Structure 1
């Protein structure tokens, strides 16, 4: 698995563990919600927009309404981001019983599936682990490089199958 994919999965897992209620409470100090969800660039951008909003609008009531709409929008976007991260992590981990402690480790999931089933095609591994095809392909490539599995053409039908070494 590539370093970018691993980092993306870890980022999603970290964001999915954030508390939506806390983000809702942090709406009063809008950029803090972005810092809490580890989205620093958006925190800086919203801070700049907030200061532009405060310094350019001269009427107090107009600032209040714009500020309220701005922070509600930020809060909704932050909560949506957490919800999306939870859904993506759930999808990546799958809902299978075998996805307990090893759900976040595709290497172990694939190695266990191969151990239980002997030789398997890539599509059989995808079905058994409920990982995305991209993650399975990248993980199989990594496992082959580390000589933990090997792929070969099955003699009877020529299909590429993988097996533990």
Structure 2
């Protein structure tokens, strides 16, 4: 199966690619690598899911937020490449969790994005990853994730 056919079989719908909220571009292509700027869990209507994980937001909701962030990353990939099938593999994720200081389950949260990418890209969705906690994130979002993607040129 191709990534696009897996995506459709999962019943997923790509949101519009989020517009940058500051002075940066959503992606850069250099050779056969696509670098994705950090994305958050923006809903299709533009609203953001917010809150501090471990205080306002539980692990299950934060996992869902990371999954939604993954959909936003896929929307940027689609915008950059015009076709998810051009992805050769997901190389690396950096997952940032807006968490209370004693929160210790960052990897469980970022699994929301990782699981989605593996569902869509199969073994080519398996990636290196960092999942870390931050004292705050822009707009008080719960999760921000950036990615490096190898592409077919």
Same fold (TM over 0.5): no
Q: Which has the higher contact order (CA 8 A, sep 6+)?
A: 2
The structure whose Rg is larger is 1
- Bigger fraction of residues in strand: 2
